[in-house]
Structure 1
Amino acid sequence: MNRILRALQHSWNGLIHAGTSETAFRQEVAVLVVALPVGYWLADSVLIYLLLVGSLILLLIVELLNTAIEAICDGLSQDYMDEIKIAKDCGSAAVTLTIFLAAAVWLVALALKAGLVA
């Protein structure tokens, strides 16, 4: 039980760090907060609502992993290194692809609601 409590504390610390020091994370949380009621209105089923909200939660997860990658890279060296640039660029690309995925999910849900697709 202590191990679970310590793991939860570490997770909470990570969320607090991201919330206080990562602008992109705060922006994405704000989008999620607005999206929760909008998604409820937009979704015709629990499954659609879970896809809408889940796509944004996935974005937060990827953003946290990108933050972790950046922290490790910055801790290793402040000097320019090709390998560190690759790691940071790949983390950024993962966030971008997740944004595209979330946008696609939301656009399809909007199209369904508008009757543009069956």
Structure 2
Amino acid sequence: MRNQPKYHLFKNARYALSGLIAALKQEMSFRIEVFLFIILSIAFWMLPLPLSQRAILQFSLFLPLIVELLNSAIERVVDLAMPDIHPLAKEAKDMGAAAVMLSLFATLCLWLYVALKQI
């Protein structure tokens, strides 16, 4: 039997919002990425780009936010399971950080591709 409450759409939405609020309150990197998400979302809608390119750029901005949330969840689980310093705990956290870095790099590459295509 799973240790999970019965599914309720609104309760699950509250859990998700609770996770977002926790990340905004406790994770500086997530706050920075949300700030960049907002600024870049406003900026590129002012550019003369086809709708398809705008949609790709908008969706690409979600990638680092999603990966950052997953990385933060990994870090919390590692801290809970292993409060002492352990090589495997460090590797798990480093791998999460690498995933964030790669998501930022992928987003940057998409943005550069679209920008260079316009020149």
Q: Which has the higher helix share?
A: 1
Partner of 2:89: 84
Offset from partner CA, 1:57-88 (integer Å, 9 cap, x none): 11100000000000001111221112211110
In structure 2, runs of 5+ residues without a counterpart are 1-6
Q: Deviations over 1:73-110 (max 9, x none)?
A: 11112211122111101100000000100100111111
TM value normalised by structure 2: 0.89
Out of 2, 11, 14, which is 1:9 matched to? 14
Structure 1 unmatched ranges of 5 or more: none
TM-score scaled to structure 1, two decimals? 0.90
Equivalenced residue count is 113
* Pairwise CA distance, 1:23: 0.4
Counterpart residue number, 1:106: 111
Q: Alpha carbon RMSD of aligned pairs, Å?
A: 1.3
Q: Percent identity?
A: 34
Q: How many angstroms apart in 1 are the aligned matches of 2:45 and 2:117?
A: 14
Q: Is the 8 A contact 1:43 1:49 kept in 2?
A: no
